[in-house]
Amino acid sequence: MGVADWISIFMALIATASVIVTYSVFRSSTDPLIIVYAEPDLKRPSVVNLIIKNIGKGAAHSVRFSPNRPLPDKAYGIELPINMPNEMKSGPIVTGIPFLAPEQQIILTWGQYGGLYKFIGDSPIEIESIFNAVGRHSFLLRKLRSISSLDIKMFEQSQSSEYGFGPNIVKELKDIKEAINEISKQRAN
């Protein structure tokens, strides 16, 4: 084999690598990607929401979820409750989602820290999301997967109650009460 043959082989390898990189970039810009995560509800102090979101650029079809262990349902209690919360038996995590558009999300009221921590404990729950991506031609159906981790322990010292309209309403009502008391004192004198 001469130098020209080696150069041809090297150029063929570079062309193949270029095609693989281009295809990977194309897929990442057109495929759906489903994530499941917990987030404090800033409008309702102490409430934690469970969010299912398609952060990818394509639509997800026939979304199913496979957690490595059961999830709690309506696990309320700021402090650790006496009774164990119920296991999730209904909803999109159990039944799946037929279609999730790009950037679409589903928000579920999941519970409060105490109830969720009692059920989940210190080790996170892993959720595998299994979904289909349909290409430009309906016969190009691809099955995709992603894994999310639900860890309630990260909210142990958080203060979501500082945000939202609830605490602001309470503050305003206290200010109104003080103003009324001040007016009452001035009229009494």
pLDDT value of residue 80: 84
- pLDDT for the residue 53: 98
**What integer pLDDT is reported at residue 163 of this predicted model?**
47
Q: Count Cβ neighbours within 10 Å for each residue of 16-32 and write b for 16 or more, e otherwise.
A: eeeeeeeeeeeeeeebb
3-state secondary structure labels for all residues of 98-149: EEECCCCEEEEEEEEHHHHHHHHCCCCEEEEEEEEEECCCCCCEEEEEEEEE
Report the distance separating Cα 143 and Cα 63, nearest Å: 10
Calculate what percentage of the chain has a pLDDT beyond 70. Answer: 86
φ, ψ (nearest 5 deg) of residue 111? 155, -155
Segment 87-123, tens digit of pLDDT: 999 999 999 999 999 999 999 999 998 999 999 999 9
Look at residues 75, 149, 86 and name the one whose alpha carbon lies nearest to residue 112: 75
What is the pLDDT at residue 24? 61
pLDDT reported for residue 130: 97
**Segments of the chain with pLDDT less than 50:** 160-164
